[in-house]
Structure 1
């Protein structure tokens, strides 16, 4: 049974999935030529080289695969694994007016009807999970970029500081217990002095994690920051990598049919180190909890209601 966390009533608008908007959470993998983002918001193209006797263009390092299992308490080595998830469309409930508090997009009017002929539905976020020591890449199969009747949502949240997490639940965050620290030797103690007696450096060397992409760095033991929950809609030509430790909802398919995802990650088969879950439960004063507002046009296109002005458009 996962740890639970109380939450207020809050409705989250949908954003277009771009590398610029998803930067802190991970990587969006797509052919730059097919990007839906306007040129001003597109990230620099990855390095490309000619391949296959000149018949292909090879983009290099399109995502960040991270293995942080060396930090795990068990110290059990991890291996690269590739699984397949066949994800059925989620049940959505009809739109109804709500007294939800504003999300980080406080200027969105969720009760304003953008198109009377479209569908206005709601997706309840009931659980979030994270993989603290590995990235996780979801690659959709058989979903066309032009398919407007089946898409998937990418729902993520930043990580709270550990101290704030404990105050919000009255118990320690759901994270592996750190190992007992060894008593430091005299040499270790003196090595922290500045300047160091063992080197000519006046400051300690930078952490190896500072060289990593922000989404690759360890997130710490904190709970999800629900007030800054974000929801994105992806097209069929986009794959997504969640950075190690990124809180996210299980994959949410919306539309007419299932989507097959190939999922690439590392794992060491220690359950709490491979995956941690937290149940999102409305608090006693909340009527519905965390909800993503899913508005679509008759064609099935999802209405993007949040983001920079150029992105407030239909897919």
Structure 2
């Protein structure tokens, strides 16, 4: 049984998936020429070179992949794996008026009918979150067009709480141990910290291993998910997404008419608790419903963006 934690009653609006809005959680992989983000919100495109005898443009290093299994308690090495997930559309429940509001978007009126006209209004209940503490995980959709009006997928993520806050939230220690990193205490290592070092010509200490990593690649720690800052993004068929190592996220959520095939790339060492950690969300006894994603769609079936970039009446 996965570990459980109490959750408040919160409704989360949907945001447009862009690299700038998703940066703390991972990487969005897309052709910069087809990005939905406003030009003012776009990050510089990856470096590109000509390829295939001049018939292709090759973008370099489009995702930050991490293998941090050297930090895993078992020390068992990992290998790169590629799997396929065939994800069926999720069951949504009808919208019901509620007084619950997301903490970070408290100015949104979820019950304002003017925002979606003749469309539909439904809810998706978030009941479980997972993370892969020592590896990135990339989801690449296949056969889903950017212009598909009837099927999209949601990317639901949450920051990680400090271990001390996690203990307060559950009344028990964090469910997963922090890796023990041995500190070198040799005389040589002590003198090596002096600058200038007697062993090198460096005038400043070398950067730490983690400081050289992209922020989404760095270990997130053993804490539980920060549910009050959970976020939901809607992706188009021309976007793949890489979750940073240790990022809490919901299993893939397809909304619409048909299943979506995803090729999934990650590292794994076969130790269950090190490859994937899950936590179930149990509504507080006084909570109205728990955590729900507000899924509004227009008359053509396309999901409406209700927060952040191109919000409220914007359509993908």
Give the TM-score normalised by the residue count of structure 1: 0.94
Q: Distance in 1 between matches of 2:8 and 2:94?
A: 20
Larger deviation, residues 206-215 vs 260-269: 206-215
Maintained 8 Å contact 2:116/2:313: no
Structure 1 runs (4+) greater than 6 angstroms displaced: 181-184, 200-203
**1:206 aligned onto 2:207:** yes
Greater shift in the superposed pair: 113-122 or 256-265: 113-122
**Corresponding pairs, count:** 314
Q: Which moved more, 1:302-311 or 1:81-90?
A: 302-311
Matches within 5 A, 1:101-250: 101-113=101-113, 114-176=115-177, 178-179=179-180, 185=185, 187=187, 190-191=190-191, 199=199, 204-250=205-251
Q: 1:47: which partner in 2?
A: 47
Contact 1:190 1:196 (8 Å CA) reproduced: no
Which moved further from structure 2: 232-241 or 32-41? 32-41
Kindly tell me: are residues 158 and 188 of structure 1, through their superposed partners in 2, closer, same or farther at Cα, counting changes over 3 Å? farther
Offset, 1:99: 2.1
Equivalent residue number for residue 58 of structure 2? 58
Structure 1 pair 177/18, CA: closer, same or farther in 2 (3 Å)? Answer: closer
Task: Give 1:13-24 correspondences, 5 Å limit.
Answer: 13-24=13-24
Q: Which residue is 2:81 aligned to? A: 81
Q: CA deviation at 1:101?
A: 3.7
Paired with 2:147 and 2:117, the residues of 1 have a C-alpha distance of 24
Q: Are 2:16 and 2:310, in contact at CA under 8 Å, matched by a contact in 1?
A: no
Structure 1: how far apart are the matches of 2:198 and 2:282?
A: 53
Q: Which residue of structure 1 lines up, in the alignment, with residue 99 of structure 2?
A: 99
Gaps of 5+ in 1: none
Asked if the contact 1:19–1:28 (Cα under 8 Å) also holds between the matched residues in 2, the reply is: yes
Indicate the residue corresponding to 1:269 in structure 2. 270
What's the CA shift string for 1:37-64, capped at 9, x where partnerless? 1111111111111111111111111111
Report the RMSD for the aligned CA atoms in angstroms.
2.0
SS in 1 for 2:255: strand
Post-superposition offset of 1:255: 0.2
Residues 281 and 266 of structure 1: CA distance in aligned 2, closer, same or farther (over 3 Å) = same
**1:230: Cα distance to partner?**
0.5
Deviations 1:74-99 (A, max 9, x none): 10000000000000000000000112
| Equivalent residue, structure 1, for 2:10 | 10
TM-score by length of 2: 0.93
Residue 135 (structure 1) shift: 0.2
